Amino acid sequence: MGETRRCVGCGIELPVAAGPTYQYINSSPECWALFGSVLAREFSDEAYGDAHRLTVDAYVVQHPDGQPAKSLVVHLIGLHLVLHQGMAMDAVTRYFQRYVASHTDYPVLLPPSDRGVVTVGFVADSPTAAVHTDRVWAWAAAAWAAWSEHHDVIASLVES
């Protein structure tokens, strides 16, 4: 096996590969590329896109370093709304639009040192759309659980 690199965000270890990252997402190039491949699958096959909202939210909250407070809080709210309140994912997007239009202050939340044991790697090789969806839900639940110290803050922001 060749040289590997550990992602500074989620901790996944992947074979070293050159590539870009995103300025607000502190990840390794390998992790960013793997996330991109998951997104490509979700956008190219409607059956894989059922859990897209959770895919994005889980990835973002596992890579919080360098993100604006607004971005991190909004993605944590997304996880809260779907996983805790049972809101439909398409309704979450509409909720975000209203929330962002009416709020200007976002708390700065200290990221947990453990971001969850389930990462984008668990989802990337899903053999079917149904397995993909199940794995995204498990990933999102693990990512949300890692932020348990801030669950009350997120719940209070949703209630405001």
Contact 9, 31 (CB under 8 A): yes
**pTM: predicted TM-score of the whole model, two decimal places:** 0.94
The tens digit of pLDDT for each residue in 26-65 reads 899 999 999 999 999 999 999 988 899 999 999 999 999 9
